[in-house]
Amino acid sequence: MKKLFTVDDFIVAGISGIAYGLGFEIPAILGYEEWQCVVICLIVGFALDKLANAVIFSKAVQSSKANRIIIFLAYILIATAIQEAFISWKNISVDAYAIQGYAFLVVPALLGFAFSMALRQYRIKKIRERYGDGSDGFIFDDLDKSEIDELNQQNRQIHGAFDTDLAVKTKTGIFVGEKKKNTIFFTGIPYAKPPVDSRRWKAPEPLPESDNVFEAKYFGASAVQVDYDGSILKHYRQSEDCLTLNICIESKRTAHKKPVIVFFHHGDFTYGGSADPLLHGENFTKVYPDSVGITFNYRLGIFGFIDFSEIPGGEDYPDALNLGLLDQIAALRWIKENISAFGGDPERITVMGFESGALSLSLLAACEQAKGLFQKAFIFYGDPMLSYETSEISKNLAKKLLQETATTTMEELMRLPTQRLKEVQQKIIQDLSPGPTRDGKLIPADVPTAYRDGVASGIEFIIGISSNERQVYKSIVGEKKYEDFISTELNSILRYFDARHPAEAKAIRVYIEEQAETMPLLKAKAKMYEQLYTLSTYRCAQKLTEGGNKVRLLYWNAKPLIENLGSGTVDVAAAFLGSHKAVQMYGNVQNRDIAETLQKLFRKFESGDEMRLFNNEIKGISAIDWKEFPRALIVSEKEFKCEPIADKLTEVKCRQCQADCVSRKN
């Protein structure tokens, strides 16, 4: 994608070559000693090289084609004039020095490029040895046990002296972080009371104010979750006491308040957490030096999304239906109240979510309780209509839970140990998937219509769509869960179309049959589901635009290194966060050009700058003008393009699919 050499590079090299040459030759002619000539040569050459870079790669020059042409012509004229002047003065040609300058540019650059390509191929070779064709999904059974043990340690209260340079006082305590290179990490900070014992299945409660001092060196426990074969967090500590967050800042403090980026982890509301290496943030302050980064955990599975309303005693647990969302709101409130102590600006909070984290954000944008808690949102692969529109699934989940645990009341359920509930969840989750419900109270029943009516006013969006996300999901949860999910979701969508648009339902079935002639039926169904999902996400972006929101689309069309592992959430999260080491664990090698470009654009998004790159703002990358909906920034391994994508989202030729595709769970 990035050009190794541009015309601009050659112009700079020519100027540098002439500068180094003249910096040596003129002092030599004037009688200076050779070592003095070398020193003058290096000083003059380095100074003019920096000046040439600053001028030629400046925004004023690069943002205008006319200015670039003028600068290039000026260089040719000046070089020619210098050539003529020296020939007439001492009959000395500067050609040799210019050629040396080009050689100085080209040879090291080519060697560096060759080395980076060799290193990339080595990493690809190791990944292919590890994953083969990727049919077994993500593999994390060979992780370094010592690293896992280190992460699984727990923070303690500090009594006595502590390092005040690493301490931050919040309303709920003083937290002492850990410095690594130029970053201070505050890890495992509680943002609500532990939801254990009598607070199990209850809404999160605020922590009391405190002056106690605590370590903030280790991740809090992940939420109790399903241990899928392809989930990395099956190796890490899990607990009902999981409501913690992590903050990373530059070690060099500044007086001005920095924008805040809050990351909502991926998963399908049954797995995931901030301990995932993709979200560790070891490179965060390099990528976003003028921001504060935050990750956090929230309740998952039967601990976060279940309806006890038909269970004896269930009336005392009215919030259990959407506890995971209430946890997220509680985390955002803690952040807004306390982040200024870490140098963050509580009025400039940008949220970024992937998969279930993205779905959560798409719902919170329509939630009155979350109003004002964030101003910008990057939602990657999160359609609000993938949430449940009734609580039927959650009610059935509660009934199944009672059946498997041989209990009959909430009182009996409350007495069960965490491990027993985890074991039962591992079993019943294969048939019933927990998730948020658009209950009409916390979340509007019809989110797209609420978008159109302005419920998300004041929020600026980037909406991300992927062309190959379902394979990522399969790589985590395995073939059986994946097959059940695709079949269940597609049947739900078809029931919706059967009742409202039978001709379109027929078109969908015909498409699946045609695709199944050249591929396995499951793959044909998954392909259809992916298209319907992306169309529904596109429709939500359209409704947000109609509601007055600024919306930009991102279409991720980069090919995976290993087809069976897919390309989507994992690669996009790694690209935006700079997690190039972590993404190799997930079977891919990061494209640094894509990552650097997306990071630059996201910095502009969070700071409110114009969403465009001028030519060579990232050296070797052409100009990008990321316009608002309906255009989309299309990202592939070869290029960036900004153009409409409506005709790229589906191969199904049916009117209603294009205009009103909505995924509904019944």
If DSSP states are collapsed to H, E and C, what string results for 86-127? HHHHHCCCCHHHHHHHHHHHHHHHHHHHHHHHHHHHHHHHHH
CA distance 331 to 242: 12
Per residue in 132-170, pLDDT tens? 999 999 999 878 788 788 778 999 999 999 999 999 999
pLDDT of 641 over the 60 cut: yes
- Asked if 529 and 490 count as a contact pair (C-beta separation under 8 A), the reply is yes
Cβ proximity of 561 and 124 under 8 Å: yes
Mean pLDDT value across residues 236-257: 93
Amino acid identity for residue 59 in this structure: K
pLDDT > 70? residue 29: yes
- With 80 as the cut, is the pLDDT of residue 84 above it? no
Q: Nearest Cα to 465, choosing from 362, 589, 546, 351? A: 362
Per-residue pLDDT band at 613 (split at 50, 70, 90): very high
**What is the DSSP track for 38-91?**
HHHHHHHHHHHHHHHHHHHTSHHHHT-HHHHHHHHHHHHHHHHHHHHHHHHHHS
Task: Let me know: does 294 contact 261? Beta carbons within 8 Å.
Answer: yes
Q: Among residues of the chain, what percentage have pLDDT more than 70?
A: 95
Q: What angle, 0 to 180 degrees and rounded to 10, lies between the N-to-C axes of helices 569-577 and 592-607? A: 70
Q: Read off the DSSP letter of residue 376.
A: E
Residue 650: pLDDT band by 50, 70, 90 thresholds? confident
| Rounded CA separation 574/587 (Å) | 12
Query: Which band of pLDDT confidence, cut at 50, 70 and 90, is reported for residue 90?
Result: low
Q: What is the pLDDT confidence band of residue 15, given thresholds at 50, 70 and 90?
A: confident
Mean pLDDT, the chain, integer: 90
What is the pLDDT confidence band of residue 97, given thresholds at 50, 70 and 90? low
pLDDT band at 665 (very low <50, low <70, confident <90, very high): very low
Q: Return the percentage of the chain with pLDDT > 90, whole number.
A: 62
Please report which residue ranges of 429-520 form alpha helices under DSSP H: 447-452, 469-477, 479-500, 502-515
**What token pair was written down for 290?**
């003028």
Query: Is the CB of residue 540 less than 8 Å from the CB of residue 649?
Result: no
The residue type at 188:
G
Does pLDDT of 348 surpass 90? yes
Given this model, what pLDDT does residue 368 score? 96
pLDDT band at 624 (very low <50, low <70, confident <90, very high): very high
**Which pLDDT band holds residue 94 (cuts at 50, 70, 90)?**
low
As a whole number of angstroms, the distance between CA 192 and CA 544 comes to: 32
Place of tokens 């992460």: 151
Between 238 and 662, the more confident residue is: 238
CB 606 within 8 A of CB 260: no
Which helix (H) or strand (E) element contains residue 550? none
The pLDDT confidence band at residue 655, using thresholds 50, 70 and 90, is very low
Residue 602's beta-bridge partner residues?
none
Phi, psi of 238 (to 5 degrees): -125, 150
Residue 221 has pLDDT above 70, yes or no: yes
Tell me if 97 sits within 8 A of 17, measured CB to CB. yes
Helices H / strands E in the chain, number of each: 21, 19
CB 135 within 8 A of CB 566: no
Q: How far apart are CA 528 and CA 649, in angstroms?
A: 10
pLDDT at position 105: 67
User: What is the pLDDT at residue 220?
Assistant: 95
* pLDDT, tens only, 260-295: 999 999 999 999 999 999 998 788 999 999 999 999
Give the residue-averaged pLDDT of 350-370: 96
Residues 190-218: what's their mean pLDDT?
A: 97
Please report which confidence band the pLDDT of residue 323 belongs to, taking 50, 70 and 90 as the band edges: very high
pTM for this entry: 0.90
* Residues 494-515: tens digit of each pLDDT: 888 888 888 888 888 999 999 9
From the CB of residue 149, how many other CB atoms can be counted at a distance below 10 Å? 10
pLDDT exceeds cutoff 70 at 453: yes
Question: For residues 75 and 51, what is the distance between their CA atoms, to the nearest angstrom?
Answer: 13
Give mean pLDDT, residues 188-215. Answer: 97
Rounded to whole angstroms, how far apart are CA atoms 465 and 578? 20
Mean pLDDT calculated for residue range 610-622: 91
pLDDT digits (tens, 9 = 90+) for 113-122: 888 889 989 9
Rounded to 5°, angle at Cα 331 from 329 and 336: 95
**Which of these, 295, 319, 321, 91, lies nearest to 185 by C-alpha position?**
295
Which position has the token pair 């040459």?
A: 21
* Rounded distance between C-alpha atoms, residue 260 and residue 282, angstroms: 16
620 or 151, which is more confident: 620
Grade residue 432 by pLDDT with cuts at 50, 70 and 90.
confident
How confident is the model at residue 664, as a pLDDT? Answer: 37
Q: Residues 69, 72, 74, 79: what is their CA dihedral angle, to the nearest 10 degrees?
A: -160
Which DSSP category does 382 fall into?
-
Q: Is the pLDDT of residue 663 over 60?
A: no
Of residues 82 and 235, more confidence is placed in 235
What domains can you pick out in the chain, each with its CATH number?
7-121 (no CATH), 168-660 (3.40.50.1820)
Alpha-helical runs (H) found in 501-551:
502-515, 521-546
Which amino acid does the sequence have at 351? V
Phi, psi for 353 (deg, rounded to 5): -135, 150
At 27, the amino acid letter reads P
Q: How far apart are CA 2 and CA 169, in angstroms?
A: 45
Give the residue among 134, 140, 130 at the shortest CA–CA distance from 231: 140
Instruction: Find the mean pLDDT for residues 328-345.
Output: 97
